[in-house]
Each structure stands twice: as structure tokens, then as C-alpha cells.
Structure 1
Amino acid sequence: MFVLELTYTGPVERADALMDAHIAWLDAQYAAGVFLASGRKNPRDGGVILAAGADRAEIERIAAADPFSAEGVCAYRITEFYATKTAEGLAGYREQPPA
């Protein structure tokens, strides 16, 4: 599983101008079953996405395709982790770390 942390690298107004394209990109990843949750950080200096079902190279490719990233509006920090414990609704995403 992955945590994608977006940090704005420019004014929030630049992100606002790309928001419709960013939301369409998010929607495509939800439809593909990759994204599980997403939202703005508070204070509003970026956002967070929880993703699963892909390897790191694929997650990096997906993040690079975000209009925010492609237009230089944000930087991504991608953290991979093993979801060994989850809420019952996310049980299908539980993982075991490699031996």
C-alpha cells in the first residue's frame, strides 16, 4: 500500500486553476481501483492519497501523470508500507511483509 503526500510548490491559486483536471485524474484512478481515499491537508498546503494494488513504479507513473505534478504545482512524497492491520472494510487490502 502507498501513501502519496502532495505538497504545493506554488500558490494555491495555481492548484485551483488545475483542480478540474486533477479531479478527473483522481476519478480515473478510483475507477481503476488504485486509489482508496484522498483529500486536502489542513492547513491547505497539499493533499494525501491512499493507494493500493500497484507496484512502486506504477504508483510513480500515476503520480507523474497528475496535472498538478505535470504542471509543476506540487511535489510528491511516496511512502510504501505493509497494511498488516486494517478496518474490516479494508480487509481485502491487508498484507504480510516479506520474510
Structure 2
Amino acid sequence: MFVVTLTYLTDLDRVDEALPDHLSWLDRQYADGVFLASGRRVPRTGGVILAAGVDRAELDARLATDPFAERGLAGYEVTEFVASRVADGLERMREG
């Protein structure tokens, strides 16, 4: 499982211009089950994505196709972890 932290590298006007394309990209990641949750950071300095079901190389390849990445609007920090405990309904995220 991965926690992806996005940090905006530009002003919010440029981020907002690219937001519809970013949201379409997110929809594609959710459609195949890789992205589990996403949203804005508070304060609005970037975002957070929870992802699972792919290896790090595949995740990096997906992140590179994000319009925010392609346009140089956000930087990405990826933290991998092993979920040893999960809430009911999230069992597929646990290792093993």
C-alpha cells in the first residue's frame, strides 16, 4: 500500500486550470481499483492519495501521467507501508 503526498509547485490558479484533467485522470485510477481514497490537503497545499494493488514502478508510471505532473504543477512523495491492521471492509489492503 502507498500514501502519495502531492505538493503544489505553483499558484492555485494554475492548479485550478488543470483540475478537470486531473479529476479525469483520478477517475481512471479508481476505475481499475488502484486508488482507494484521495483528497485535498488542509491547508490547500497539495493532496493525498491512497493506492494499493500495484508495485512501486507501476505506481510511479501512473503518477507520471497525472496532468499535474506532466505540467510541472505538483511534486510527489510516495511512502510504502504494510497494513497489518485494517478497518472492517478494507481486508484486501492487508498484507498476506
The normalised TM-score by structure 2 is: 0.98
Q: Which residue of 2 aligns with 1:4?
A: 4
List runs of 5+ in structure 1 lacking aligned partners.
Answer: none
Q: CA deviation at 1:93?
A: 1.2
1:1-80 aligned within 5 A? 1-80=1-80
Structure 1 residue 92 displacement after superposition: 1.4
Post-superposition CA distance 1:18-65 (Å, at most 9, x none): 000000000000001100000000000000000000000000001111
SS in structure 1 of the partner of residue 79 of structure 2: strand
CA–CA distance in structure 2, aligned partners of residues 21 and 37 of structure 1: 18
1:87 aligns with 2:81: no
Alpha-carbon distance between aligned partners in 2 of 1:61 and 1:13, rounded to the nearest angstrom: 26
Question: Percent of pairs identical after alignment?
Answer: 54
Q: Secondary structure at the match of 1:28?
A: helix
> CA separation in 2, counterparts of 1:92 and 1:68?
29
Q: Which runs of 5+ in 2 are unaligned?
A: none
**Aligned structure 1 segments of 4 or more residues deviating by more than 3 angstroms:** none
The 2-side partners of 1:29 and 1:8 are apart by 20
CA distance in 1 between partners of 2:4 and 2:70 (Å) = 15
Q: Pairwise CA RMSD of aligned residues? A: 0.7
